[in-house]
Structure 1
């Protein structure tokens, strides 16, 4: 059987354009800490595609954050038959430029991921073929078509395509392609999608509807990771892990069997289930990130289809206290730029962060990612700053005209807030409170 070669390239890392925020980031470790973690994560999507690749294809995996012309020439010299790109929206224009360069050397270019799924017609201008939605079914078909000289410009696993990938068919990602020494954590996916479907979210249903991975497969993936790394730190590549509480408890029972620390994203409903919190603590969960979104109840109205988050607002403080009382730190995520935001919102956000005793916080700018409800709303209102603003989709750069501020006023208020909440002093204060909670918990257990 003829042998082929495919190079999978992850366009990792995101660059903030706002010069004042960039300057702040150089001196405020709390501000850059989370972005550094995200940039250091391998592309689980590409590693998953690698596991669904036929045996007659040799796979190379590469991450291009900071790269040189020599790096590009090295890839060309390896003479891959196909280069498959995965890129965040913020780096898609850079990906298009690289793809154009590789195509000039006769290399066929494949693109997939969130942005390409949202904007397939745009991506097809720079690629020989694009994959919309989940890649596990489309990728093997694409490779077979390539071998026959019949590569199609478009492959889709979205609902209208008639294809639906069942996670029971999933294979273990090719973690063996990684140089483990370069990472401080690895990614593992247990669920896809999120049923809340917030109007600004670019991930909740773009690739897949909400679905859970079989526990037996998760166990095999953990065994694979532990075969490469004795005591890994694992970040779950989930949008909302603990939606199904019964399944979640079984997942946590599995996790508790492995000597690992881990992090994930979920929603505030975990605070309503004491048994789940006990299992979270027993399974050595280091932290959960919860999207509180805003510190004003009015801002939560119509944020998701069922107004679920709005109904939770009055429980925010108690939920945070309860979760952290189990020794699980909470990273609170807040977004600024909603139409309900005023100058006062920046003050209440700072006050909420302090009064809630959150261990960590993540504050970002509202960003209209392509094909979201927010994107179409702002586009219809002629409020987007430009047609192609993809490189500014960093979560820290303004991309549209806010309702109650000028762009300059919004950026100034955001910068001032960041300068205050991400000082080393405030970061230490948040950490020290959580340490006191852990100490009290330990004393309670020992008495």
Structure 2
């Protein structure tokens, strides 16, 4: 059996004007391009569960318009994609099926809308793929592939996680590789379409499993840069410190995403840089209580912390760890004054990096359900707009045109070469000053 694992994650702004703007501002959509260039850890993990006697190949298809027919012929293909590119994934799936190739679709979008995906596949995998993949392989071999493999309701133990097949990659193509240390998130943000949609419960991977994956990467790439593919890495502080102590011994540089509570634990903060942490991305979302009120639906945690944002950023960056502050434009509590407010906050905070996106209603999220009920989804099933830069809903306190114009204006200011260079130079000056102060103390 010849099996192809095909990743389709070449997300790009659908709005032509935004795409053109991005080409003139090196910082704009920089993070989005990094995400799009990452290999699919999910598919590499499934490869690790695949028996050795299966003829296996991993491919990445960034743009279906650049492919004549299919990229390569297989007996079976498993395709994974983001919502923004799911239309292209379906087109490729249809091309394969026309050749008689069996097609399996999975990932976040397929888990959200399995019956939509099944129109283009012989089988769909719903939920955590590790749970159902062995059965899929067995059924393929027996010639008895079922249409639906549903992992929901099962409790996958992260201690059983397989070693991803990093050896399938052409390492020189990447500037970073991913390792997952946890899955899920204790917060319930209305807009979130990340791994919480696959794993509703928060779970951690044993530290020894994480270290083994890092060492596997190091066997292929001597000094790698690693991104922890987590939604919120430092939720469990005791586990986080155990992880940091182990990672510090591996002599790597890495990036991850977490929440603002990392700034509350001085011991953990002091461990970050020694463990090789270069930068952390934190979802700040907005700059005022009213702007983000209700976004986190369990305890309204983010809105309650907004007054501590500046101090938290200072504490983290004083340790030499860069903060990438993520802001979401167009939340229901935000009017047109929010664009200037974000600009002023960025200037005041000294953030090293900034990620600006627009609120996006992803399928099967609480946000999409609410906006659909309120009649505020601009075009139903327009998944190509789920890029984080295109507007797919009617904002509450501004027009669509005002939100698009505000985004363009803000990114022009924040990501200009001069502003970016000045912001990053200020970070390095401040850190050198802190080092001198500590040495003199």
TM-score (norm 2): 0.97
Q: C-alpha separation between the residues in 2 aligned to 1:152 and 1:395?
A: 34
Partner of 2:278: 286
Native 8 Å contact 1:233 1:262 kept in 2 = yes
| Residues 395-415 of structure 1 deviation map (CA, whole Å, 9 limit, x = unaligned) | 000101111222112211211
- Partner of residue 184 from structure 1, selected from 169, 175, 181: 175
Partner of 1:53: 50
- Partner of residue 133 from structure 1, selected from 127, 135, 153: 127
Q: C-alpha separation between the residues in 1 aligned to 2:329 and 2:102?
A: 41
Partner of 1:7: 4
Q: C-alpha separation between the residues in 2 aligned to 1:73 and 1:345?
A: 45
Native 8 Å contact 2:292 2:333 kept in 1 = no
| Residues 370-398 of structure 1 deviation map (CA, whole Å, 9 limit, x = unaligned) | 01000000000111111121011110001
- Partner of residue 44 from structure 1, selected from 14, 35, 41: 41
Equivalent runs, 1:11-410 vs 2, <5 Å: 11-66=8-63, 72-76=69-73, 80-159=74-153, 163-208=154-199, 209-304=201-296, 305-410=298-403
Secondary structure of the equivalent of 2:278? strand
| Greater CA drift, 239-248 or 49-58 | 49-58
Secondary structure of the equivalent of 2:208? helix
By how many angstroms is 1:121 displaced?
Answer: 0.8
Partner of 2:412: 419
Native 8 Å contact 1:369 1:393 kept in 2 = yes
In structure 1, list runs of 5 or more residues that go unmatched: none
| Residues 201-232 of structure 1 deviation map (CA, whole Å, 9 limit, x = unaligned) | 00152111210001111111111011000000
Report the aligned-residue RMSD. Answer: 1.3
Secondary structure of the equivalent of 2:254? strand
Distance 1:147 1:20, change over 3 A: same
| Residues 325-377 of structure 1 deviation map (CA, whole Å, 9 limit, x = unaligned) | 01101000000111111111111111111111101100100000001000000
| Greater CA drift, 431-440 or 125-134 | 431-440
- Partner of residue 434 from structure 1, selected from 424, 427, 433: 427
Distance 1:264 1:74, change over 3 A: closer
Q: C-alpha separation between the residues in 2 aligned to 1:424 and 1:119?
A: 41
In structure 2, list runs of 5 or more residues that go unmatched: none
Q: C-alpha separation between the residues in 1 aligned to 2:103 and 2:208?
A: 35
Native 8 Å contact 2:357 2:389 kept in 1 = yes
| Residues 80-136 of structure 1 deviation map (CA, whole Å, 9 limit, x = unaligned) | 221000100000011001101110000000011100000011001111100111111
TM-score (norm 1): 0.96
By how many angstroms is 1:70 displaced?
Answer: 5.7
| Residues 37-82 of structure 1 deviation map (CA, whole Å, 9 limit, x = unaligned) | 1111100000000001122312100000135666644512xxx221
Q: C-alpha separation between the residues in 1 aligned to 2:357 and 2:182?
A: 24
Secondary structure of the equivalent of 1:26? helix
Q: C-alpha separation between the residues in 1 aligned to 2:70 and 2:277?
A: 43
Native 8 Å contact 2:329 2:356 kept in 1 = yes
Secondary structure of the equivalent of 2:197? coil
Native 8 Å contact 1:197 1:204 kept in 2 = no
Q: C-alpha separation between the residues in 2 aligned to 1:203 and 1:236?
A: 14
Q: C-alpha separation between the residues in 2 aligned to 1:204 and 1:51?
A: 20
Q: How many residues align?
A: 438
Q: C-alpha separation between the residues in 1 aligned to 2:386 and 2:171?
A: 29
Native 8 Å contact 1:91 1:391 kept in 2 = yes
Q: C-alpha separation between the residues in 1 aligned to 2:322 and 2:67?
A: 43
Native 8 Å contact 2:227 2:256 kept in 1 = yes
Q: C-alpha separation between the residues in 1 aligned to 2:70 and 2:140?
A: 24
Distance 1:319 1:146, change over 3 A: same
| Residues 13-54 of structure 1 deviation map (CA, whole Å, 9 limit, x = unaligned) | 112122221121111111132122111110000000000112
Native 8 Å contact 2:108 2:195 kept in 1 = no
